[in-house]
Amino acid sequence: MTTENSFYCRYCGDTFKLSKEEFKSYLAGEMEDPDTCDDCLFNLNNPVEDYSFSDADPGL
C-alpha cells in the first residue's frame, strides 16, 4: 500500500489520482488498489456498439 495519491491505469497507462474521500477509504483498507482511471472505467461500463456487422440479405 502506498501513501501517495498517484496510481497507474492498467488499460491506458496514464497516472490518476483519487478524490479525498476515495483516498481516505483506500488508506483505511476499505478498497483494493485502484487500477483503472475514470475515463477507462466509463468506457468499460459503456462500450461502443459495433455497427460493422449486418444481417441484411446481400442478395437483395
The one-digit pLDDT tens for each residue of the chain (60 residues) are: 455 889 999 999 999 999 999 999 999 999 888 999 999 999 998 887 777 777 777 766
Closest CA to 18 of 49, 55, 27: 27
Can you say how many angstroms the Cα of residue 14 is from the centroid of all Cα atoms in its chain?
11
pTM above 0.75, yes or no: no
For residues 37 and 44, what is the distance between their CA atoms, to the nearest angstrom? 11
For residues 46 and 31, what is the distance between their CA atoms, to the nearest angstrom? 23
Residue type, 35: D
15 three-state secondary structure: strand
What was the pLDDT predicted at 24? 93
